[in-house]
Structure 1
């Protein structure tokens, strides 16, 4: 595809070569190491490096076109077309969407943002449409990229929402596999870095806003503004949580285009009469003057909020409400999201991704509502991430547990002992019994060994992740897999 077609209508300046003659035929990349003959290299600024430093490497590997934010001091081969734009990250969505044939325009695209619930809502929407409407649905998010059970293998460089080049590549793959609807997670970082632009989003879902990622955004106001970008011209319609005050901001941005859901506040889709049990939650769904009995096989108010968001979004997309509600009742387990098993000793184990103060409190409050015995919580906090939440999470865990075992999450480049110290500072305020066992497998084993029939062990923070990042090393580790092996006695003590 000619570079001139990729940039048509986009403000740019040609520094070298002719966009009419530059034929981008081998893909687009922002990693010079993946540049091949005939490809286009985009120099993007990252948090740790600047892609402009690798322009020469990309050209030597065969790039025929380069997109930059400023002229390159080095002399480049005359065959290469170099184009300057004000912000390469902002330009990528236009270029990538066009290169891959604007695949989003041929599918219904739903984007979910909010502090908690993005992955759960994505799983719910996919399952409800697959079960209730026999639809072929694509999922893009924290747990990977797939259409149904078919994985889409794309190099992963971001934890939640892929870079724009990768996103449009994934969307093209999904379109080519006959996908009718795509549900994707839109993180605050992705929204501020232009990753989901030009994705032709039909419905944007807002789940909630609670303190998290303040190391990246600086304040709750800036964090909120990052989330609101999704509803500032990026989606056609919105589904918003009326129990969260941010829904009023969304309504102001999109008057007449917002469908609300909630439990406490008046909403288009409202749940009342909640009955929470270990096996799930029953409630009465109110919509458009009608009442329906509904249930979701996950316990807790947070599960009902996620279910309401799912029902509202599917209804906005035009799906039959009764079929959606019926499908909600038979949802399969969501990996790493209140995923529960019972050991042969009669101990219930819950594995959950809760990694913020709010999500941890919600999960523990739910467990407290049905646990017949003690609650034992095993968790840690990620390194090189928001330090301000660690003591608070320790305090919350201790207030709602009988025993807290502080362990490693993904310490990354931080000292694990320091992270544990900061968590325990919060635990110590309560006087709750606690232990420090940094080896996560040993911590889980300790929890299972002291738990008795009727107790509930919560293992929080990593959910369905299959790895731990310790220092510069990434090693295989999965909480549920570890629990299953330990409970079966197949791992040595």
Structure 2
């Protein structure tokens, strides 16, 4: 494809070369070490594996052209390679990546989910109910990687929930080419702020909630909120909004298209009442357009019902049959790492959940307390290089709802694990709840399982389905659920294959 076609309609200035005579044949990339002959290298300032300083290595690897921002000094090796300056390489790169892959988002129903909690759960639920109710082929892009049904799409290893725009558009192109009808995307605050979701042509944007998290990235809650709200300022056609969250009220006035609401506690287009919660799940009545639908989900808790409402509202908005969607809710498989449950031979229930913020930990433990018949033992920690203000608060929440806490490492990254625990422990001590301090996560899980008796519940919070632990710059293989199964000698039960 001609470079001129990727720049059409964009503000740009040609520094050298001719975009009309320059052909991009190997895609668009931000990472210099992924450049191939024929690539368009996009020099994003601050990008760890790229940026203006990586122009020379990109050229050495055969980049056909380079996009830069003002102030980038071209190396002597640039020769006559086409170099184009744009006001914002991230924004221009998103457009170029979409055009290169044929704007795949236009060819599928696109659902993007944003919010502090619930993004992964809603994405799994949307895929499940469409598959179970209609045999539909849906793609999912998010925390657990990218997949079509159970088929993973291989990508370079990354910890980004929302991939950078060149990778995201590549994934969308793969899904379009494999006959996917609907794609569900987790849209993080940083993903929205850095233009990764631009030019994906989102049909339905879902807002789940907002609570304290990611202040290390955004500085203030207002900045964090505004990053989330970017999805509803021209990036989606239709909004599905949690009316129980006060931020939801801000979305209507900024949306150019329609807004649909869901709620448990206030009037909304989709509402749930008569909740009955036990260890196996939740039964409720779904109300929509004057009709009532008896419903059930195999996940306990109000937050799970709220996620189910978001799922049904998004899918119904896309035109899928509401009765079929509601019927499919009850048959959904467990979501990996989201209130994922197993029982040991000793009769101990173990729950693995991604809860890693004060609000999510409080909701999960509050739900467990609602049906627990014996002790609750909580294994948790806090991530390194992240918001430090929540650490003592999470200790207080865990101590308040638990009979025993085991505080351990989450993803310490570049921080000393023991220093992180030093900041968590005072919150537990304020509650008077007994605790054990074990920085090694495997040892912490083993201690909790050994301490638990029949009918006790062990919650392992913070990492969910993550297959690794981040220590320094390393991603070390580690799975909470796999560790539980190994220590408790619990066999793996495979999920039923997706319908084709």
- TM-score bucket (shorter structure): over 0.9
What TM-score do the two structures reach when normalised by structure 1? Answer: 0.98
Q: How far off is 1:472 after superposition?
A: 3.1
Q: How far off is 1:48 after superposition?
A: 5.0
- Number of equivalent positions: 490
Asked if the contact 2:413–2:471 (Cα under 8 Å) also holds between the matched residues in 1, the reply is: yes
- Give 1:304's aligned residue: 305
Q: How far off is 1:115 after superposition?
A: 0.1
What TM-score do the two structures reach when normalised by structure 2? Answer: 0.96
- Give 2:400's aligned residue: 399
CA distance in 2, matches of 1:399, 1:106: 49
Asked if the contact 1:16–1:78 (Cα under 8 Å) also holds between the matched residues in 2, the reply is: no
Q: How far off is 1:39 after superposition?
A: 1.3
Q: How far off is 1:475 after superposition?
A: 1.4
Asked if the contact 2:237–2:256 (Cα under 8 Å) also holds between the matched residues in 1, the reply is: no
- Give 1:451's aligned residue: 452
Asked if the contact 1:357–1:393 (Cα under 8 Å) also holds between the matched residues in 2, the reply is: yes
Segment drifting more, 345-354 vs 425-434: 425-434
- Give 2:55's aligned residue: 55
CA distance in 2, matches of 1:49, 1:58: 11
Residue 369 (1) aligns with residue 370 (2) = yes
Per-residue CA deviations over 1:32-65 (Å, capped at 9, x if unaligned) read 1111111111101236576100101111111110
Per-residue CA deviations over 1:368-387 (Å, capped at 9, x if unaligned) read 01110000000111111111
- Give 1:239's aligned residue: 240
- Give 2:280's aligned residue: 279
Asked if the contact 1:284–1:294 (Cα under 8 Å) also holds between the matched residues in 2, the reply is: yes
- Give 2:18's aligned residue: 18
Asked if the contact 1:30–1:42 (Cα under 8 Å) also holds between the matched residues in 2, the reply is: yes
Asked if the contact 1:340–1:351 (Cα under 8 Å) also holds between the matched residues in 2, the reply is: yes
CA distance in 2, matches of 1:476, 1:213: 24
- Give 1:421's aligned residue: 422
Asked if the contact 2:303–2:363 (Cα under 8 Å) also holds between the matched residues in 1, the reply is: yes
User: Relative to 1, partners in 2 of residues 1:260 and 1:128: Cα closer, same or farther, differing over 3 Å?
Assistant: same
Q: SS of the counterpart of 1:76?
A: helix
Q: SS of the counterpart of 2:76?
A: coil
- Give 1:469's aligned residue: 470
Residue 321 (1) aligns with residue 283 (2) = no
CA distance in 1, matches of 2:239, 2:415: 39
- Give 2:350's aligned residue: 349
User: Relative to 1, partners in 2 of residues 1:58 and 1:47: Cα closer, same or farther, differing over 3 Å?
Assistant: closer
CA distance in 2, matches of 1:132, 1:472: 43
CA distance in 2, matches of 1:49, 1:428: 43
CA distance in 1, matches of 2:78, 2:113: 44
Q: Which ranges of structure 2 fall in alignment gaps of 5 or more residues?
A: 492-500
CA distance in 1, matches of 2:390, 2:12: 43
- Give 2:498's aligned residue: none
Q: How far off is 1:75 after superposition?
A: 2.3
User: Matches of residues 112-131 of structure 1 in structure 2 within 5 Å?
Assistant: 112-131=113-132
Give the CA RMSD over aligned residues.
Answer: 1.2
Asked if the contact 2:124–2:335 (Cα under 8 Å) also holds between the matched residues in 1, the reply is: yes
Q: SS of the counterpart of 1:212?
A: coil
- Give 1:33's aligned residue: 33
Q: How far off is 1:397 after superposition?
A: 0.3
CA distance in 2, matches of 1:138, 1:348: 32
